[in-house]
Amino acid sequence: MTRVTIWNEYRHERENEAVAEIYPEGIHAAIAEGLGEYGFETRTATLDEPEHGLPESVLDETDVLTWWGHRAHDEVSDEVVERVRERVLDGMGLLVLHSGHYSKIFKRLMGTTCALKWREAGERERVWVVEPGHPIAEGLDERFEVSEAEMYGERFDVPAPETLVFASWFEGGEVFRSGCCYTRGSGRIFYFRPGHETYPIYYQEEIRQVLANAVEWAAPTDGPEPAFGNGEPIEALE
């Protein structure tokens, strides 16, 4: 069974009543509930726990890590970021959610600023499936809507995704690459845009479906260990 660790900064929910009303036990609890419905084994980890809840022992038991952060990206220790990065290169899946675009781990893995345009005005977002045969789009219609969303607009300064699964349109007219697939080393990374803290987006059926599909897609496979360095010839050399 795929084991998922759901990481959350968990500050907005404890310090802002409006957010706490929507996510009384934290965004991580809502995401865990959704993934639990799909049969995944879930655990959660938050910024203010020792080692941000991500000691080696937890990562040892993690197939896919999901990451939600916003206002305290800088408080995530470089040591933990490096630990997570190494795990991703070794094959652990990583789902980077919404404002996680500015997290240290995502910026480090992408190598770009990961900056974007944004506006908080409760706009309608129409998410289009642009790669219908992709496993992350399984079970969805050709489009779905988020009734109230924070706008994220292009340009999104990331490397061109290896596969773009979703593209979003916003009421104000902007567009955004909202579902981006990458591989780094043996690990798979999926960036998924929807999910602002003041909207109940992580309870929405389609969003939960996407997250479950993405966990399935990003889970490590049992491929060969890569061999690096000086190599003996396979065939006899003349």
Contact footprint for Zn ion (CB under 5 A): 99, 150, 196
Taking CA atoms, 51 is separated from 9, 59, 142, in Å, by 12, 11, 41
Nearest to 19 by CA among 229, 199, 151: 199
Shortest Å, Cβ 215 to Zn ion:
22
Shortest Å, Cβ 11 to Zn ion:
13
Report the SS3 class of residue 46: strand
Q: How far is CA 20 from the centre of its chain?
A: 22
Taking CA atoms, 66 is separated from 6, 106, 123, 181, in Å, by 5, 11, 25, 14
Q: What residues form DSSP beta bridges with 143? A: 128
User: For Zn ion, which is the closer residue by CB, 98 or 104?
Assistant: 98
Cβ atoms 153, 178 nearer than 8 A: no
State which residue has the least CB distance to Zn ion: 196
Shortest Å, Cβ 71 to Zn ion:
10
Radius of gyration of the chain (CA): 18
Nearest to 102 by CA among 124, 121, 76: 76
User: For Zn ion, which is the closer residue by CB, 91 or 179?
Assistant: 179
Shortest Å, Cβ 58 to Zn ion:
26
Shortest Å, Cβ 178 to Zn ion:
13
User: For Zn ion, which is the closer residue by CB, 102 or 128?
Assistant: 102
Cβ atoms 122, 147 nearer than 8 A: no
Shortest Å, Cβ 99 to Zn ion:
5
User: For Zn ion, which is the closer residue by CB, 91 or 195?
Assistant: 195
Give the C-alpha separation, 105 to 97, whole Å.
Answer: 12
User: For Zn ion, which is the closer residue by CB, 171 or 216?
Assistant: 171
User: For Zn ion, which is the closer residue by CB, 182 or 199?
Assistant: 199
